[in-house]
Chain A
Amino acid sequence: GQSLEQPSEVTAVEGAIVQINCTYQTSGFYGLSWYQQHDGGAPTFLSYNALDGLEETGRFSSFLSRSDSYGYLLLQELQMKDSASYFCAVDSNSGYALNFGKGTSLLVTP
């Protein structure tokens, strides 16, 4: 079977840094993606890691360790608008169907 584990909830203060972890067990692995979803909205793509290491895109960074089946999303300089759910997703079939985790609800407080 395939499974992805991430914390259900995280709370952080505006301006701080937060890390959302994701561990996975899948039969195949091509890459790990991160998506953001605001309440009632559509998920939007944040990042994709196919190789080990850190990918940086503005305030957001994503890390992957294939040997540990582990990745994380790092959000810096948190803003109130970052309050949303964040999903990790494994691409186990070369760019096609994704397997999503259950999501981490991030609450940014003043």
Chain B
Amino acid sequence: DGGITQSPKYLFRKEGQNVTLSCEQNLNHDAMYWYRQDPGQGLRLIYYSQIVNDFQKGDIAEGYSVSREKKESFPLTVTSAQKNPTAFYLCASSPQGASEQFFGPGTRLTVL
């Protein structure tokens, strides 16, 4: 089955530690995205990538980093510089120029 996977579903980390969230897709989509969702809030864009080896900052990129070495993979690192990292993180992908984005199941990160 084609789709987007994110792992793990729940993640706990101590304050001050970097953590990398996984996002993999086998839909052959060119574009991939990372969003952050806080309780009762919409989705805010962290980073997006339109093509391998290229990515752009979204609205809230500070304290995050990404890489796009393969078309299928777009990992997100939450660094210790991110002041409020506890949130629900959603990865999405879409064909280039398409109006529909396909979302993964999300990773709920809790920093203690």
Contacts and interface: CB of A to CB of B under 8 A. Distances in A.
A87 B43 contact: yes
B103 interface: yes
B98 interface: yes
Interface stretch (A10-18, A70-78, A88-96): A88-96
B96 A100 contact: no
Interface stretch (B13-21, B44-52, B76-84): B44-52
Contacts of B106: 40-42
B28 interface: no
A45 B102 CA distance: 7
A91 B58 contact: no
B97 interface: yes
A45 B100 contact: yes
A85 B33 CA distance: 20
B40 A102 contact: yes
Given A45-B100, A50-B99, A98 B105 contact: no
B60 to A, nearest CB: 12
Determine which residue in B48, B94, B96, B103 has the highest number of CB atoms from chain A within 10 A of its CB, and name it: B103
A87 B58 CA distance: 19
Interface in A62-80: none
Interface of B: 31, 33, 35, 40-45, 48, 50, 56, 58, 90, 94, 96-106
- Which are the 6 A-B pairs with shortest beta-carbon distances? A100-B42, A42-B103, A95-B97, A48-B99, A100-B43, A102-B42
